[in-house]
Structure 1
Amino acid sequence: MRFHQVKELVEWAAGYHRRLGEQFTALAGGGVEERVRMALEYLAERERKQESDLTGYLDDGSDHSKVLETWFDDPTDFPHPPVLERLPGCIDCETVQSVLSTALTAHRTLQDLYAHRAELAGGDDERAFFEALANGHEAEVRRIARDIQRLEDY
């Protein structure tokens, strides 16, 4: 579909966080090393928080309701979905660093998606909304990298 509302992209991203969180949880329940399990459980929790934050925008009465109803034209559908959809199926659980690498790739790709939408925004409110999402993902990438590195250091 070529035309979308901003809320459709937000719903898609929330669903992606949910699916990635479920995948991290399932992998943590497998036969992985203790630190890898702890990293996967931490990442699953972060994904649940990201999903919750995004679905909060969709609640009735959100300050962003006007932006969420905005239509945009994107002939390529949402950028990057093939990359995002492949990530959960190829998570390497051998080391904490390999799990971290996959998580950071997923978040940076979403950050790029939001930055792309900000660049193509039709108005200031839409641009500010997507810039805030991109900045939030940048902070999330730093938080995840810092926290996983602390786990690795113990």
Structure 2
Amino acid sequence: MSQERVMDIIDRARDFHAQLSEYFAARSAGSDKAWAKILLNYLGEAEKRHEEALEDYEKHVSHDVTDTWLQFPPDIKVEHYLTPAEITADMDAEDVLREVLRLDQRLSELYREVVKRAHSKRIKEVFTNLLETNEKEMRNLSRDFGHMQDW
């Protein structure tokens, strides 16, 4: 079992959002469908905001928390677990949204796993906060998608 610090998990989540932002930007650039460009640009910008928010959050969490080693780190291999399925030209907007929500749900599962395994109340609070923020963003994305569908 590998050792991980709280900061390592937050960094992996931040990297996940950065990679998704780049992924959506590349898919948008390669698409010839107007709806896909709009949706993928929106998703890429949202992921960039998530990445920046995590970076800011990490700066404001006490170093005695972020530098804490987790006795029981999550059992999830993020590299494989948070890899997006290929977004292809034959997918419709709902397929893309389902994939994004699937990935966000997996990130929530990672946060839940840390909350469940954390030995410190402060670490539980950090990841509960991240979990609640992620789930709020999922609800906002679903709501915004509904508004996009009204166009």
What TM-score do the two structures reach when normalised by structure 1?
Answer: 0.89
Structure 1 residues 102 and 32: alpha-carbon distance in aligned structure 2, compared to 1, 3 A threshold = farther
> Secondary structure in 2 aligned to 1:90?
coil
Per the TM alignment, residue 83 of structure 1 is displaced from its structure 2 partner at its CA by: 2.3
1:143 corresponds to: 140
Structure 1 residues 76 and 57: alpha-carbon distance in aligned structure 2, compared to 1, 3 A threshold = closer
Which one of 107, 110, 116 corresponds to residue 110 of structure 1? 107
1:83 corresponds to: 81
Deviations 1:7-52 (A, max 9, x none): 0111111011000000001111112321121111111011001100
Any stretches of 5+ residues in structure 2 without a counterpart?
none
Aligned equivalents of 2:54 and 2:98: distance in 1? 23
Structure 1 residues 114 and 79: alpha-carbon distance in aligned structure 2, compared to 1, 3 A threshold = farther
Per the TM alignment, residue 74 of structure 1 is displaced from its structure 2 partner at its CA by: 4.1
2:23 corresponds to: 23
Kindly provide the amino acid, as one letter, of the partner of residue 120 in structure 2. Answer: G
Structure 1 residues 75 and 48: alpha-carbon distance in aligned structure 2, compared to 1, 3 A threshold = closer
Aligned equivalents of 1:63 and 1:73: distance in 2? 19
Deviations 1:96-141 (A, max 9, x none): 1111011101111101100110111111100011001000011010
What TM-score do the two structures reach when normalised by structure 2?
Answer: 0.90
What RMSD, in angstroms, separates the aligned Cα atoms of the two structures? 1.8
Aligned equivalents of 2:36 and 2:54: distance in 1? 27
Alignment check: 8 A CA contact 1:25 1:44 kept: yes
1:70 corresponds to: 68
Per the TM alignment, residue 5 of structure 1 is displaced from its structure 2 partner at its CA by: 0.3
Identity of aligned residues (%): 26
Alignment check: 8 A CA contact 1:79 1:113 kept: no
Structure 1 residues 63 and 72: alpha-carbon distance in aligned structure 2, compared to 1, 3 A threshold = closer
